[in-house]
Amino acid sequence: MFEAVLWISVTFISLAMIGLIYRVIKGPTVADRVVALDAIGISLVSVIALVSIVLETSAFLDIILLIGILAFIGTVAFSKFLEKGVIMEYDRDGNR
Amino acid sequence: MTEMEIVKFFAGLFILLGAFLSLVTAFGLIRLPDVYTRNHAASKSATMGVMLVLLGTFLYFWLIEHHFNSRLLLGVVFIFLTSPVAGHLIARAAYNSGVKLSDRTVQDDLAKARKKLEAEGHSK
């Protein structure tokens, strides 16, 4: 029973990721693609949690934090780049 | 029902709800008309979905495998903190880089406020 619930959940999340990949490919603007990529990163976290239940190991659970941090930093860098054209600013006043 | 079955029922319920919310996220991202509404779908239901899945996983590892995994709780807290921030940043970047709102949008208060500021002579 519990196994069946796990596989149904993995199927749901995989379908969700396919829909998000459609939005990454088609998305009219760059911001659409960044939103969809962020959501893919978040979905990947739940896939990893389910895989570690299925394989009955806790070795993958560190990767959850890693992927969460990478998705967040990627989104922040992309939004800075979209807004200002640079990721790191050089002057220290911040008023380009 | 034994204790194990009750724990498995609740863990499975949380995980299934979380997976369903992920599906709702994808549906919202495909169907909604412009970046801002899609961003709303992504940053709310995806956060809730992944938090429910991680909570179910945490309950399973704690009560079935007797392994209190604090990293899962840390992941829940971290995603709860960072996902709204990421959504806000990307929406602001989209607005400032000139992405149009959809045709069905009723009001745009930020554009009104900016026009008023420019009329008063402030730069930007």
> pLDDT tier at A91 (50, 70, 90 boundaries)?
low
Which residues make Cβ contacts (< 8 Å) with residue A41, sequence separation at least 6?
A: A67, A68, A70, A71, A74
> pLDDT tier at B27 (50, 70, 90 boundaries)?
very high
Interval B74-84 mean pLDDT: 91
Q: Which one of B26, B57, B93 has the shortest CB-CB distance to A15?
A: B26
B67 contact A CB<8A: yes
What confidence score (pLDDT) does residue B48 get? 92
| B111-124: pLDDT as tens digits | 888 888 888 876 55
- Contact list in B for residue A64 (CB cut-off 8 A) is 54, 71-72, 75
Residue whose structure tokens are 């009001």: B107
For an interface test with B, which of A1, A3, A10, A12 has the most B Cβ atoms less than 10 Å from its Cβ?
A12
> pLDDT tier at A92 (50, 70, 90 boundaries)?
low
Contact A92, A77 (CB under 8 A): no
- Residue B46 scores a pLDDT above 60: yes
Interval B54-70 mean pLDDT: 89
Rounded to 10 degrees, what is the CA torsion of A53, A56, A61, A63?
A: -90
- Residue A94 scores a pLDDT above 70: no
- Residue A12 scores a pLDDT above 90: yes
What confidence score (pLDDT) does residue A58 get? 84
- How many residues are given for chain B? 124
What confidence score (pLDDT) does residue A52 get? 92
Does this complex have an ipTM over 0.90?
no
| B92:A58 CB<8 A | no
Contact A50, B55 (CB under 8 A): no
Q: Which one of A9, A53, A65 has the shortest CB-CB distance to B16?
A: A9
| A57-67: pLDDT as tens digits | 888 888 999 99
- Contact list in A for residue B67 (CB cut-off 8 A) is 58
| B83:A42 CB<8 A | yes
- Contact list in A for residue B64 (CB cut-off 8 A) is none
Q: Which residue of A has its CA nearest to B9?
A: A2
What is the token pair recorded at A15? 């379908």
Number of Cβ pairs < 8 A linking chain A and chain B: 164
